[in-house]
Amino acid sequence: MILHCDAQLVVADKPAGLPTVPGRPEELHDCLWHRVRAQVADALVVHRLDMATSGLVLFARGIDVQRALGRAFAQRRVEKTYEAVVAGELPGDCGEIDLPLIADWPNRPRQKVDPQRGKPSVTRWRVMQRETPLGTTRLELQPLTGRSHQLRVHLAAFGHPILGDRLYAPPSAADGACRLMLHGRALAFAHPAGGVPVRFQSPTPF
């Protein structure tokens, strides 16, 4: 589960179905953070992945490093790369989805597109493989912003929901996989000790 650990940070590989941080129900108390802290007691949360999403999560060792890495995320100095399998075949080989997002308060935790009140949200996509007989496409995704559920909402609004998405996909796509087919495959950023560029990767498990 821990892929890298040094004096400043920890990189862990979260399985699908495990929360990043503890939830209120007792069954959600087990989480990635608690498991990491069992091995690295001073690990602090920097960012999160949805419970249904697998992939790389970054933790800081100490409050100063947590603040520095938090600023890097806020200032978009962390490159995040995801892989997903979506319904349908996309037009073209690459592009951007630029749709403002806001919390759908009556239906939390859902988010929604809102051109008037939504926050700017941009996702780059690139076709990795078209699986024509199955009617699906494997994509590489790079969120240029970090909104909650951004990739899931953007792909659903674009007409190509992520397979296995119980919140945003229609039943045909939601039931088309045993899990949410979304994985945080890579993180790249300047290491807080010295600013040397580092990149961490996790093989996509689907």
- Tell me the whole-structure pTM to 2 decimals: 0.95
Q: Are 149 and 102 in contact (CB under 8 A)?
A: no
Selecting among 50, 64, 98, 165, the annotated active-site residue is: 50
Q: Return the residue matching tokens 């073209």.
A: 92
Which residues make Cβ contacts (< 8 Å) with residue 139, sequence separation at least 6? 83, 84, 85, 86, 90, 125, 126, 127, 128, 155
The fold of the 81-182 domain, in CATH, is Pseudouridine synthase (3.30.2350)
> What pLDDT, in 10s, does the model give residues 125-169?
999 999 989 999 999 999 999 999 999 999 999 999 999 999 999
Domain 2-76 matches domain 81-182 at the CATH topology level: yes
DSSP 8-state code for residue 115: T
Confirm whether 64 is a catalytic residue: no
27, pLDDT greater than 80: no
Indicate the pLDDT class of residue 23, thresholds 50, 70 and 90: confident
**Which helix or strand (DSSP H or E) is residue 28 part of?**
none
Domain borders along the chain are 2-76, 81-182
* Statement: 2-76 belongs to CATH 3.30.2350.10: yes
24, pLDDT greater than 90: no
Q: Are 9 and 65 in contact (CB under 8 A)?
A: yes
